[in-house]
Amino acid sequence: MTYAKILGTGSYLPANRVSNDDLAQRVDTSDEWISSRTGIKARHLAADGEKTSDLAVSAARRALEAANLVPADIDLIVVATATPDMQFPSTATIVQQKLGISGCPAFDVQAVCAGFVYALATADAYIRSGMATTALVIGADTFSRILDWNDRRTCVLFGDGAGAVVLGASAQKGIILSRLHSDGNYLDLLKIPAQIADGAVCGTPYLQMDGQAVFKFAVKQLAAVADEVLHAAGYTAEQIDWIVPHQANERIIAATAKHLGIGMEKVILTVAEHANTSAASIPLALDAGIRDGRIRCGQTLLFEGIGGGFAWGAVLAEY
Ligand code: ACO
């Protein structure tokens, strides 16, 4: 049996760190309001001209270095992003070009904050089926570009960043099982209702969200998909060493851990320093947990994410 094994991880955060207090100088908010509701204390924002693909490439280079590989070893690139550099071509092909390689398939996955679990499950399917042997899976987003910085209900929640994972075909256990879902009936809860048409941007090019409805839906579906993936794999919650969740809100993360009966000491939490970096948040957290030595070889990881669409999913893996 062929598994997709994590060979290396890397991440990148833009240099500009903006604290809640910094933000309170620009909009009518406070550190107390933001941190008590979300756990967020700061976020990093991309510099002018710093694009999603730039963040993605920096994270990818670090992941390749950790895996002791070079770009030419990669035969599949999947980039999860909702903030591509351009309408087309895909950010994945731009990343491919910036890494100096060509020929291998490269494409984007658009599942917003669930993007990384979607991308991981997709690359896993390619490797299991023999269509790829060494895949670069990246989550990268620059939500600072799609926020209305005068809307305090949304602009305080997000940050920019990128995380990358190199997956390689292996006889050793790697990704065990994935479960993905989506339901377009909930598209109005979280969206940017704009498109490029007739030479102009039509509609509102800023993120709109019903925060309370998103909160309730996320808590419910993340619990359900975590149960589903464990049941399908024949695992119990006690066998999980680390939950590596999408980092939107500490209270959503805590609710999923509580549902599984897992203490917060077994959850990799980066939301305080990163805020919600959408598709980048899971690989950013994974890389943090690996580089600081908490996540070790042979341990069992549960990735779970949810975002606009709605789209959600969970991936169980052995590191
Ligand atoms: N600072 C100060 N006050 C604020 C702010 C702010 N940044 N934002 C809103 N308020 C005010 C509102 O105007 C409102 O005031 P009012 O009662 O006078 O009208 C009050 O605070 C309460 O607003 P609510 O929206 O009811 O606040 P709530 O307690 O629901 O918290 C929050 C809002 C934090 C967005 C919460 O609903 C949440 O976390 N939802 C999940 C959203 C999320 O994580 N989205 C990420 C994308 S989806 C994903 O990644 C899973």
Kindly report, residue by residue over 172-215, the tens digit of the pLDDT. Answer: 999 999 999 999 999 999 999 999 999 999 999 999 999 999 99
146 Cβ inside 6 Å of ligand 1: no
For the question of residue 185 being annotated catalytic, the response is no
For 230-284, what is each residue's pLDDT tens digit? Answer: 999 999 999 999 999 999 999 999 999 999 999 999 999 999 999 999 999 999 9
88 — phi, psi (to 5°)? -155, 160
Looking at residue 177, its pLDDT comes to 97
Looking at residues 94-123, what average pLDDT do you find? 98
CA separation, residue 155 to residues 26, 276, 316 (Å): 11, 10, 32
Amino acid type, 106: A
Q: What percent of the chain has pLDDT over 90?
A: 100
Looking at residues 102-119, what average pLDDT do you find? 98
Distance 212 CA to ligand 1 centre (A): 7
Tell me the CA end-to-end span of the chain in Å, nearest whole number: 17
Q: What percent of the chain has pLDDT over 70?
A: 100
pTM (global) more than 0.95: yes
DSSP string, 148-191: -TT-HHHHTSB-EEEEEEEEEEESS--EEEEEEEE-GGGGGGEE
With tokens 């039509």, the residue in question is 202
For the question of residue 16 being annotated catalytic, the response is no
Looking at residue 67, its pLDDT comes to 98
Rg of the Cα trace of the chain? Answer: 18
Distance 158 CA to ligand 1 centre (A): 13
211 Cβ inside 6 Å of ligand 1: yes
With tokens 């789209």, the residue in question is 311
* Nearest CA-CA partner of 256 in 215, 220, 210, 295: 220
- Confidence category of residue 33, pLDDT binned at 50, 70, 90: very high
